[in-house]
Amino acid sequence: AQTVTQSQPEMSVQEAETVTLSCTYDTSESDYYLFWYKQPPSRQMILVIRQEAYKQQNATENRFSVNFQKAAKSFSLKISDSQLGDAAMYFCAYRSARNTGTASKLTFGTGTRLQVTL
Amino acid sequence: NAGVTQTPKFQVLKTGQSMTLQCAQDMNHEYMSWYRQDPGMGLRLIHYSVGAGITDQGEVPNGYNVSRSTTEDFPLRLLSAAPSQTSVYFCASRRKPGQLANYGYTFGSGTRLTVV
């Protein structure tokens, strides 16, 4: 079974600074997707960024980028020029590229709460 | 598009009561899932469906039933509520394999359920 580990329960960053959230995962599969979801106090789960395992290039979405290290099974999220609106819980998630049964489910880490200070 | 709509947003039940959490999506997504979110545990899969008439169990199915009579709707039924079912429930959907952009799930806004 796949597992996702987020070892930082809480992080803090000053506005306009850069912060990196860590995520490691365990899987025996070679083809899969990785995601970062943001959950603000509104409770909505918002997809921030995704990475396909077969792609060597790290994904980037505006101020958000990832460092995907497939061999090390590491998938960190970097937030540049942090803004007050970035304050939220961030979840790392894994999904197999297989589409049979529960293989298509998302496996989540326990989350990292990001605080943004002035 | 409304996306994934969950109702109600909040609910308080007494132990032993039953209720149905509603989930509807208007994106013609084949895959639909129910997750529960508990503090310190991330989200865990309760039940899922890969199309109308097809459902199966996830990681934590006990105490819950689902059905999928249409592509749009995927209700979650609590048969006899217990305090251990106090949680936040999310419904999520995505396109089926072979369709463009089928990799990501769209989530509803969640239902906070308290069982007393």
- Tell me the per-residue pLDDT of B17-31, one tens digit each, with 9 for 90 and over: 999 999 999 998 989
d(CA B5, CA B105): 14
Task: Tell me the CA end-to-end span of chain B in Å, nearest whole number.
Answer: 36
More confident residue, B95 or B100: B95
How many angstroms away from the CA of A80 is the closest CA of chain B?
Answer: 24
| Cβ–Cβ below 8 Å for A106 and B105 | yes
pLDDT at residue B40 greater than cutoff 70: yes
More confident residue, B2 or A69: A69
A110 in contact with chain B, both atoms CB, cutoff 8 A: yes
- Tell me the per-residue pLDDT of A13-50, one tens digit each, with 9 for 90 and over: 999 999 999 999 999 999 999 999 999 999 999 999 99
| Cβ–Cβ below 8 Å for A110 and B42 | yes
Classified as helix, coil or strand, B53 is coil
The full DSSP string for A29-49 is -SSEEEEEEEE-TT---EEEE
Asked if B109 and A44 touch (Cβ cutoff 8 Å), the reply is: yes
Measured between beta carbons, which residues in chain A are less than 8 angstroms from residue B90?
45
Count H helices and E strands in chain A, helices first.
Answer: 0, 12
Q: Which helix (H) or strand (E) holds B25?
A: strand B19-25
* Residue B22, φ and ψ in degrees, nearest 5: -95, 145
Which among A43, A47, A108 is the nearest to B104, CB-wise?
A47
Tell me if the bond preceding B8 is cis, omega within 30° of 0: yes
- Tell me the per-residue pLDDT of A57-92, one tens digit each, with 9 for 90 and over: 999 999 999 999 999 999 999 999 999 999 999 999
Average pLDDT of chain B, as a whole number: 92
pLDDT at A102: 67
Which among B33, B42, B104 is the nearest to A105, CB-wise?
B33
B27 in contact with chain A, both atoms CB, cutoff 8 A: no
B48 in contact with chain A, both atoms CB, cutoff 8 A: yes
